[in-house]
């Protein structure tokens, strides 16, 4: 399986328009500049398209950080 965090890096850089952004598993809307509610919607859409998955609203509500997103994507890809 690919390294999901590495795959997310260019998505976050593109959506948040920050070519130097370095995300980690602990990155979230509070500690990443520009990650607001609109950016979150755009991130989810780009992530769904990149990985060919659908993320339900209920699944997204429980996420606290990028690490949770990585784990959710891994579960989706394993199905």
Report all structural domains of the chain as residue ranges with CATH numbers, in order of start: 4-78 (1.10.1200.10)
pTM (predicted TM-score): 0.92
Nearest alpha carbon to residue 10 among 65, 71, 51, 41: 51
Residue 71 has pLDDT above 60, yes or no: yes
pLDDT tens-place string over residues 8-57: 999 999 999 999 999 999 999 999 999 999 999 999 999 999 999 999 99
The rounded distance, in Å, linking the Cα atoms of 14 and 75 is 24
Output DSSP code: residue 19. Answer: T
* Residue 17 buriedness (CB in 10 A; 0-12 / 13-18 / 19+): exposed
Q: Token digits for 78?
A: 């394993």
CA 64 to mean position of chain CA atoms: 11
């Amino acid at each position: 399986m690919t390294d999901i965090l590495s795959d997310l890096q260019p998505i976050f850089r593109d959506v948040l328009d920050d070519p130097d952004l370095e995300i980690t598993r602990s990155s979230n809307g509070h500690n990443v500049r520009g990650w607001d509610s609109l950016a979150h919607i755009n991130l989810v859409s780009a992530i769904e398209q990149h990985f060919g998955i659908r993320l339900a609203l209920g699944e997204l509500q429980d996420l606290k950080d990028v690490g949770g997103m990585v784990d959710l994507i891994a579960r989706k890809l394993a199905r």
